[in-house]
Chain A
């Protein structure tokens, strides 16, 4: 293999062929005004197959989870303060394959975006990178005060390179690859509920 020479060959050809320098545009961020960020977030989340619930505190989340998911027996939790809901301990897990049978994961998000209902979660919150994907159902907990209007604001607040992995997650896993019929629950979580505290 001669990858060093390919590198130089490619970069050399690029240098020879690239156009004259063009500056970055001055404007590439835009402001969005929504009268009510929580309402906007909830509406968009519903339109993409998820559900938002506003709750006053973590105690209320506990009650809601017991109501919604009382029939599930394998629950993993990474939200500080909700440990008592866990029936599966993540602490001893070193191999992500061991998370195969998780039925519900409850994970905190750093912030939510009202325009598209995306929630930023870094691997620090996930515990294991695969957890929000491999779980059958997903519950995310965010503070309502973290909501921002659009993606430009979101990128001003998050630090994507601060950890090795992070994702904007919007709604449950879905596909429309069979005759454009929307089916929720492709490979990732079959359902998403977002608890907005505040």
Chain B
């Protein structure tokens, strides 16, 4: 796969050109993070819930094969057709074959990050199938021909005036209209017509229950249900890590998911699908696409515990100030940056560096993924495998030599101090990214060592 057009740092620089907008983006996500905090402190057992959620997922990772086989068997007994896709291409081909079987060239789709990961929309569109994304945020970005910038809040990078313009162009709303109520009503009418006329609906899966063969889809808008219950064919797509052992474990996850995501006590709809309705056809596509490889990477397998709440993104100082699109991956932010290198190390080698390693992501994660540790470990793997760029590698190898030799250390710091005094502008230049928004410090006349030798060493 090719390199992205811009790496994270370069794309962030573009995003940062509009400073008031970046500040707004930062504050909006921080506000969501604060809502999460308020919701979590209302439950005295919050930390115990996180621990339980984490340990259930550890059990799942270590029994993945048995749980998936049980899930498949039960789902088949329930009258559901189960498909397995080794990679994105096979996933996409399965969806197309189901559509072709029913001679359908239009479908509705509710939110599924997996289908973003597999670039399903592009594939279907190239094969003459029209896909309408029905989550409001996803529909907005789809009309703008953009990918979602956040896994829970797909249009979080846009202002209501942007949405107003997009809807004026595509849905015929009044020019200049920016009232969210009015714009949402326009989308409701527009999408209701799609729900009522499409014969195939695709949904994601939040949790799949091994014991019963059922799956749970959570939305606030009701778009997954509107699509699925009106369609002749319901296709549900899941990465295999969505499995949990029993329905009773949902008590843990449904208490954590929405509180972590948006600070709500639960999503409006947590729908449990077990059987197709009479006359309906139901398919489940279980996708690997690199997950079994990740399961084998001891340092990184815990990333598969993720329940896609987005809390790590909302809290991340780098995500909030660089925007989701800078990550050039279906899942942005800290979790995306530890998932993406598994999919393609070359293309995503920049992402584990898009972090200050402050650790806030790990602290808010409802399933206790050691996200910041994994970011740090990926940097080492990527450097060892030769995917770290020349500049970063060269400067770090010089630093390693200088820091290892007292003579070199003394010489270089004396030189640097002199240079800073004579020509402070030398460091504040575009070649030194550290000097963006920062001034280099004023250099003292002598080093501590020189001061010590003069004043203390020979009294």
Q: Which residue in B65, B229, B296 is a CB contact (below 8 Å) of A129?
A: B229
Interface flag for A170 (CB, 8 Å):
yes
Interface flag for B3 (CB, 8 Å):
no
Docked-complex contact A48 and B264, CB < 8 angstroms = yes
Interface flag for B360 (CB, 8 Å):
no
Q: Beta-carbon contacts of A162-198 to B below 8 Å, as 1s and 0s?
A: 0111111111111111111101011111000000000
Docked-complex contact B292 and A14, CB < 8 angstroms = yes
Docked-complex contact B184 and A186, CB < 8 angstroms = yes
Q: Beta-carbon contacts of B38-72 to A below 8 Å, as 1s and 0s?
A: 00000101001101100110110111110011000
Most buried by A among B61, B93, B188, B191: B188
Q: Beta-carbon contacts of B187-209 to A below 8 Å, as 1s and 0s?
A: 11001100110000000000001
Complex CA distance for A176 and B220, rounded to whole angstroms: 9
Docked-complex contact B214 and A19, CB < 8 angstroms = no
Q: Which residue in A3, A96, A129, A170 is a CB contact (below 8 Å) of B268?
A: A170
**Which range holds the interface residue count of chain A?**
35 or more
- Chain A nearest CB from B157 CB (Å) reads 11
Complex CA distance for A115 and B209, rounded to whole angstroms: 23
Tell whether A133 pairs with B229 under 8 Å between CB atoms, given A18-B62, A179-B180: yes
Docked-complex contact A1 and B86, CB < 8 angstroms = no
Docked-complex contact B275 and A165, CB < 8 angstroms = yes
Tell whether A14 pairs with B181 under 8 Å between CB atoms, given A1-B93, A3-B84, A116-B265: no
Binds A, one of B135-143, B370-378, B405-413: B135-143
Q: Which residues of B contact A6 (CB under 8 A)?
A: 84-86, 90, 288
Docked-complex contact A115 and B265, CB < 8 angstroms = yes
Q: Beta-carbon contacts of A81-117 to B below 8 Å, as 1s and 0s?
A: 0000000000000001100100000000000000111
Q: Is the interface of B mostly helix, strand, loop or mixed?
A: helix
Docked-complex contact A25 and B268, CB < 8 angstroms = no
- Chain A nearest CB from B93 CB (Å) reads 7
Q: Which residues of B contact A133 (CB under 8 A)?
A: 222, 225-226, 229, 269
Which residue of chain A is the closest to B295 with respect to CB atoms? A17
Q: Which residues of A contact B155 (CB under 8 A)?
A: 177-178
User: In chain A, residues 65-87, which have Cβ atoms closer than 8 Å to a Cβ of chain B?
Assistant: none
Tell whether A175 pairs with B220 under 8 Å between CB atoms, given A6-B86, A30-B49: yes
Binds B, one of A53-61, A139-147, A153-161: A153-161
Docked-complex contact A155 and B275, CB < 8 angstroms = no
Which residue of chain B is the closest to A188 with respect to CB atoms? B222
Interface flag for B160 (CB, 8 Å):
yes
Most buried by B among A13, A44, A165, A187: A187
Interface flag for A152 (CB, 8 Å):
yes
- Chain A nearest CB from B227 CB (Å) reads 9
Q: Which residues of A contact B180 (CB under 8 A)?
A: 178-179, 181, 183
Docked-complex contact B160 and A179, CB < 8 angstroms = yes
Complex CA distance for A186 and B222, rounded to whole angstroms: 7
Which residue of chain A is the closest to B54 with respect to CB atoms? A25
Q: Which residues of A contact B250 (CB under 8 A)?
A: 151, 155, 160
Interface flag for B442 (CB, 8 Å):
no
Docked-complex contact A13 and B270, CB < 8 angstroms = no
Docked-complex contact B251 and A18, CB < 8 angstroms = no
Docked-complex contact A21 and B51, CB < 8 angstroms = no
Which residue of chain A is the closest to B69 with respect to CB atoms? A11
Docked-complex contact B214 and A20, CB < 8 angstroms = no
Q: Which residues of B contact A179 (CB under 8 A)?
A: 28, 158-160, 163, 180
Which residue of chain B is the closest to A15 with respect to CB atoms? B65
Complex CA distance for A21 and B61, rounded to whole angstroms: 8
Docked-complex contact B93 and A118, CB < 8 angstroms = no
Q: Which residues of B contact A169 (CB under 8 A)?
A: 268-269
- Chain B nearest CB from A192 CB (Å) reads 9
Tell whether A168 pairs with B269 under 8 Å between CB atoms, given A187-B191, A187-B195: yes
Listed by A's residue number, 28 A-B pairs whose Cβ atoms lie within 8 Å are: A3-B90, A6-B86, A13-B288, A19-B301, A22-B59, A25-B52, A27-B48, A28-B52, A30-B48, A32-B43, A48-B268, A133-B226, A133-B269, A156-B248, A164-B273, A165-B272, A167-B269, A167-B270, A167-B271, A170-B269, A173-B268, A176-B220, A178-B183, A179-B159, A179-B163, A180-B31, A185-B184, A186-B188
Chain A interface (Cβ < 8 Å from any Cβ of B): 1, 3, 6-7, 9-11, 13-25, 27-30, 32, 44, 48, 96-97, 100, 115-118, 123, 128-130, 133-134, 150-152, 154-156, 160-161, 163-181, 183, 185-189
